[in-house]
Amino acid sequence: MVAVALVTGANKGIGLEVARQLGARGITAIIGARDEERGRAAAELLGLPCVRLDVTDAAGIRAAATWIEQEYGRLDILVNNAGITFADGPPSQTSVEQARQVYETNVFGVMEVTNALLPLLRRSSAGRIVNVSSERGSLGRTLDRSHPLWPMLNLAYCSSKAALNMITVSYAKELWDTPIKVNTVDPGWVKTDINHNEGIKTPEEGAAPIVAMALLEADGPTATFVQHEGPLPW
């Protein structure tokens, strides 16, 4: 039976590459995209299906879940990749409105999508949820004065990723005694639109640890926070 995956924010960047790598392994990787036209273009490029999916649109998320159920009957892999940010700046100059926008996508969007798709993941013999986080959401790394992250300030983005880490742990605890595994992955500083292509890793490199977590064996871990180089401190 061919595995079915959904990748949010998959019409470009890391999400597109995750879908490509999953598809290359024979998985039906559905490209979830807020912009339907861009989603179709990406899907045609890779020969994969697509669905319109704006993670801030609850009705649209439910419609996508219904479509997946009708088309495939279940979901084996969910990659919560969609995310946004604003430019760095002192926390005291971060507007609450900007923070709300970031949280709507990076936090509440993940919850909305996961809750809508969880019934389909429960039908899988080996469900996998991978949340794409960031090292900048690590309290341990952020407070390490010897680490390159020390001078970086982005209250909305960093705190949203810290919240995402707790969301990961919370779902993992709920699903602890089921076949579903829930993990968080930091793809690293990847060249994408979100950082104006200033990263040091390629999308292929950034996608690799995400795909590895999506394809965990039955004895694989749950409730972890990792990057390509290994585990990260919470």
Q: What is the mean pLDDT of residues 3-21?
A: 96
Task: Determine the pLDDT at residue 150.
Answer: 86
Residues 109-132 have pLDDT tens digits of: 999 999 999 999 999 999 999 999
Task: Determine the pLDDT at residue 1.
Answer: 85
161 is catalytic: yes
Residues 162-209 have pLDDT tens digits of: 999 999 999 999 999 999 999 999 998 776 666 556 666 888 899 999
Task: Determine the pLDDT at residue 98.
Answer: 93
**What's the pTM value of the predicted model, to 2 decimals?**
0.95
Catalytic residue of the set 161, 171, 181, 191: 161
Domain ranges of the chain: 4-231
CA 228 to chain CA mean position, Å: 15
Residues 26-55 have pLDDT tens digits of: 999 999 999 999 999 999 999 999 999 999
157 is catalytic: yes
Per the DSSP assignment, residues forming a β-bridge with 50 are 31
Catalytic residue of the set 72, 103, 157, 171: 157
* Distance from C-alpha of 90 to C-alpha of 10, rounded to nearest angstrom: 31
Q: Report, at the CATH architecture level, how domain 4-231 is classified.
A: 3-Layer(aba) Sandwich (3.40)
The answer to whether 169 and 222 have CB atoms below 8 angstroms apart is no
User: What's the mean pLDDT when you consider all of the chain?
Assistant: 94
Task: Determine the pLDDT at residue 198.
Answer: 63
